Amino acid sequence: MNDTLYQLATVAIPMIVAIVFHEVAHGRMARLLGDRTAQDRGRLSFNPLRHVDPVGTVFLPGMLALAHAPVFGWAKPVPVDVRGLPHPRRAMMIVGAAGPAMNFALAAVAAVGIGILARIEPGAGLVAQFVFDNLVNFLVINLSLACFNLLPLPPFDGSHIVEGLLPERAANAYARLRPLGLPIILVLLVVLPWLMPAIDPVRALLVQPVSWLGEHYLALASLVAGRPLDA
Which residue numbers are catalytic?
23
SS3 state at 52? strand
Beta-sheet strands, E only, within the chain: none
* C-alpha pair distances (Å), 99 with each of 18, 63, 113, 119, 122: 10, 24, 21, 31, 35
* Nearest of 52, 217, 70 to residue 135 by alpha carbon: 217
What is the rounded distance in angstroms from the CA atom of residue 55 to the CA atom of residue 60?
6
- Tell me how many helices (H) and strands (E) the chain has: 10, 0
* C-alpha pair distances (Å), 154 with each of 115, 117, 162: 37, 39, 10
User: Which strand (E) or helix (H) includes residue 133?
Assistant: helix 126-149
What is the rounded distance in angstroms from the CA atom of residue 150 to the CA atom of residue 132?
27
